[in-house]
Chains A and B, each alone.
Chain A
Amino acid sequence: MPDLTLREAIRKGLQEALDNDPRVFIMGEDVGAYGGAYAVTKGFLRQYGPERIRDTPISESVIVGAGVGAAMGGMRPIVEIMTINFSLLAMDQIVNHAAKLRYMSGGQLMVPLLIRTVTGGGAGLAATHSQSLEGWYASVPGLKVVFPSTPADALGLLRTCLKDPNTIIYCEHALLYGVRGPVPDTYYEVPLGRAEVKRPGTDVTLISYGRGVHLCLQAATELARRGVQAEVIDLRSLRPLDLETPLASLRKTHRALIVEEAWPMAGIGPYLGLRLHQEAFDDLDAPIAHLCGADTPAPYARNLERLSLPDVPAILKTVAEAFGL
């Protein structure tokens, strides 16, 4: 099993799709000649040509909208929105059109569109370039949202997404592109809506996705040194959202902490926490804890930004305070 970076895994998935399905094409700002803002599509233009690797103007609304139309017209577009922050300019196309056309047309239309976008903070980009908006999209019926944390999941999820007949927001955390991990040579897919136990444990459940999974794994290693066995769960897709895997874990550990970068209000964490309280109240030894981004716009200053995002010490501190572990 070769080790790939998360970036390489996504590249592999995109190339497979371009090689195997003539309906697949990629469009977005600087995906071609420039090679993609995060170098994911570097070299694709030379390999596949400008018909299939389409550089667009800086026009988020028409990039997504043209993806919607092309998908309705029988193509399999993959659009790249340079970062999720700019998807706000295409919010209408995503939320009002892509997500709703099937419903409003009484099932006549399909919008098999994959929207790849970069998300997350931590790179000193300040408030408009560091947002974690995946939860907003996950709140919209008609959309699916995936968020891989490992190269293997990135490829497996991408394969599944490209077979799915719906519009999917595929989130790539900016700080995870260089993360390396084993990726099976044999063909596999990762289903949507199935969380994975990334590390088994018996004393506390740490639930996260994307970069938070890596923080939880590091925290679990530290906890193990203290004799506490933490189970780490990677949600992998936010919609559909797997409740069963966290529930099964809770019934074993009786304690859970949800870790995410997004703001405290109206996100995945609050929703998941409520559902878990409803479903597993009797199994809980303590209320479910939530560690998330600070309730502020992302600050630029290094120290403040650090304070605004979950990190390993904060996870350990929360576990200690909430559960006495």
Chain B
Amino acid sequence: MQLQERLTKTELVSFYRQMLLIRRFEERCAEMYMLGKIRGFLHLYIGEEAIAVGCMSALRPEDYVVTHYRDHGHALARGMDPKVAMAELFGKVTGCSRGKGGSMHFFDASRNFMGGYAIVGGQLPVAVGLALASKMKGEPRVTVCFFGDGALNQGEFHEAFNLASLWKLPVVFFLENNLYGMGSHIDRTYAGGRDVFKAGEHYRIPAAQTDGMDVLAVREATLRAVEHARQGNGPFFLEALTYRFRGHSMADPVEYRDRAEEEAWKVRDPIPTFQRYLLENAIATLTELSEIARQVNDEVEEAIRFADASPEPPPEALYEDIYA
């Protein structure tokens, strides 16, 4: 972990806080799911937090973010109130999508968080369109589009890369490569080999690879990628190498992975790693970090209380918001 730009202590500590918030939030989500408070599919982001936090820290408020169904981390890192996020998971009217979207469809237009999309690869064309709008309107926004390695094999990946490059659109395609699409290892699903970030070469999209377990590395790589797009040079393809520590969803007992492989990745858990970095470089003390952990816990508990106490959407909502 190297620090090439000068970040303040406040900034660095806030990265730690955000990663921890996402982690605690989701650990509690798993419990709420077992209690039946959360329904449907629940895909946890645990292990990948450094990506959302590192990336979002490099964006401006006006930038668009589009992501997939594993979207809690992105939404929280983008500044969504955990209360509003939890309420959405509980299917309450106080949720970010007023209880209409659930886990896979977080939206926060006020933060230009343009949504979690539950169809693998479906968000890529939408991101291209957002970037097209920005470019046509002359706005200096960049659209960051997250997707998993599974989406590499959708036709939309190629359609979106091709068009974005042809039209030089300000979009950063951000691949969160956690090596698995459900239970299928990338080596069994993707014929292009492990140098996935070279997949854009055919479309003349410059690319880089970064360590998705290192929040500062992700931040720096994102800053470069976004700058490239913001300067009018067209799309950029960024690949972060990462690992999800849990199953694909709550329904997944993870019987397809080698335990040694899991352990090797868990040693690189982005949160303790960053904690060590903060301590070793005397950026924060253990007391300060424990205090943060306590605050984060409180915040998550408050979110659960809020979600629990919130009303369900009224029956009339069934027919609301179908048309504008």
With A25-B136, A74-B137, A106-B321 as given contacts, are A96 and B119 in contact (CB-CB < 8 Å)? yes
Instruction: Report Cα–Cα, A97/B105, bound state, in Å.
Output: 11
Chain A nearest CB from B40 CB (Å) reads 12
Contact between chains at B100 and A106 (CB < 8 Å): yes
Tally B residues with Cβ within 8 Å of A.
Answer: 45
**Cβ-based interface call for A101 (8 A):** yes
Mark each residue of chain A from 44 to 73: 1 if its CB lies under 8 Å from any CB of chain B, else 0: 000000010010110101101111111111
With A102-B322, A106-B321, A112-B324 as given contacts, are A74 and B109 in contact (CB-CB < 8 Å)? no
Mark each residue of chain B from 86 to 108: 1 if its CB lies under 8 Å from any CB of chain A, else 0: 00000000011111110001011
Contact between chains at B101 and A104 (CB < 8 Å): yes
Chain B nearest CB from A95 CB (Å) reads 10
A101: contacting residue among B115, B124, B162, CB under 8 A: B115
**Cβ-based interface call for A136 (8 A):** no
Residues of B within 8 Å of A96, CB to CB, are 119, 122
B129: contacting residue among A51, A68, A104, A110, CB under 8 A: A68
Chain B's closest residue to A107 (CB) is B321
A104: contacting residue among B100, B127, B163, B167, CB under 8 A: B100
Chain A nearest CB from B230 CB (Å) reads 16
Contact between chains at A102 and B324 (CB < 8 Å): yes
Chain B's closest residue to A89 (CB) is B155
Contact between chains at B130 and A70 (CB < 8 Å): yes
**Cβ-based interface call for A142 (8 A):** yes
**Cβ-based interface call for A244 (8 A):** no
Instruction: Report Cα–Cα, A51/B138, bound state, in Å.
Output: 12
**Cβ-based interface call for A184 (8 A):** no
Residues of B within 8 Å of A64, CB to CB, are 125
Counting chain B CB atoms within 10 Å of each CB, the highest count among A56, A59, A70, A104 belongs to: A104
Contact between chains at A65 and B160 (CB < 8 Å): yes
**Cβ-based interface call for A285 (8 A):** no
Instruction: Report Cα–Cα, A136/B284, bound state, in Å.
Output: 60
Contact between chains at A73 and B129 (CB < 8 Å): yes
Contact between chains at A65 and B101 (CB < 8 Å): no
Residues of A within 8 Å of B126, CB to CB, are 65-66, 68-69, 72, 93, 97
**Cβ-based interface call for B159 (8 A):** yes
Contact between chains at A73 and B324 (CB < 8 Å): no
Counting chain B CB atoms within 10 Å of each CB, the highest count among A92, A97, A103 belongs to: A103
Contact between chains at A109 and B114 (CB < 8 Å): yes
Instruction: Report Cα–Cα, A75/B166, bound state, in Å.
Output: 20
Contact between chains at B132 and A73 (CB < 8 Å): yes
A69: contacting residue among B129, B321, B322, B323, CB under 8 A: B129
Within B6-48, which residues are at the interface with A (CB < 8 Å)?
none
Contact between chains at A72 and B114 (CB < 8 Å): yes
Instruction: Report Cα–Cα, A137/B73, bound state, in Å.
Output: 34
Within A123-174, which residues are at the interface with B (CB < 8 Å)?
141-142, 144, 165-166
B100: contacting residue among A51, A68, A72, A105, CB under 8 A: A105
Chain B nearest CB from A82 CB (Å) reads 15
Residues of A within 8 Å of B101, CB to CB, are 104-106
Residues of A within 8 Å of B64, CB to CB, are 73
With A25-B136, A59-B163, A62-B163 as given contacts, are A72 and B129 in contact (CB-CB < 8 Å)? yes
Residues of A within 8 Å of B156, CB to CB, are 61-62, 65
Chain A's closest residue to B93 (CB) is A106
**Cβ-based interface call for A108 (8 A):** yes
With A70-B129, A104-B107, A105-B105 as given contacts, are A62 and B98 in contact (CB-CB < 8 Å)? no
Chain A nearest CB from B231 CB (Å) reads 19
Residues of B within 8 Å of A59, CB to CB, are 159, 162-163
Instruction: Report Cα–Cα, A181/B324, bound state, in Å.
Output: 33
Residues of B within 8 Å of A142, CB to CB, are 322-323
Contact between chains at B321 and A61 (CB < 8 Å): no
Contact between chains at A109 and B129 (CB < 8 Å): no
**Cβ-based interface call for B57 (8 A):** no
Instruction: Report Cα–Cα, A142/B319, bound state, in Å.
Output: 11
Chain A nearest CB from B144 CB (Å) reads 13
Mark each residue of chain A from 77 to 106: 1 if its CB lies under 8 Å from any CB of chain B, else 0: 100000000000000110011000111111
Chain A nearest CB from B285 CB (Å) reads 41
**Cβ-based interface call for B5 (8 A):** no
Residues of A bordering B, CB below 8 Å: 25, 51, 54, 56-57, 59, 61-62, 64-75, 77, 92-93, 96-97, 101-110, 112, 141-142, 144, 165-166
Residues of B bordering A, CB below 8 Å: 64, 66, 95-101, 105, 107-109, 114-115, 117, 119, 122, 124-134, 136-137, 143, 155-156, 159-160, 162-163, 166-167, 320-324
Closest 7 CB pairs of A and B: A69-B129, A65-B125, A73-B133, A106-B98, A62-B159, A165-B324, A66-B129
Extra 11 A-B pairs, beta carbons < 8 Å, given A69-B125, A109-B114: A59-B162, A61-B156, A62-B124, A62-B128, A65-B122, A66-B126, A68-B126, A93-B126, A102-B322, A106-B96, A142-B322
Some 9 contacts from A to B, beta carbons below 8 A apart, are: A57-B166, A66-B125, A92-B119, A97-B122, A104-B107, A106-B95, A107-B321, A144-B323, A166-B324
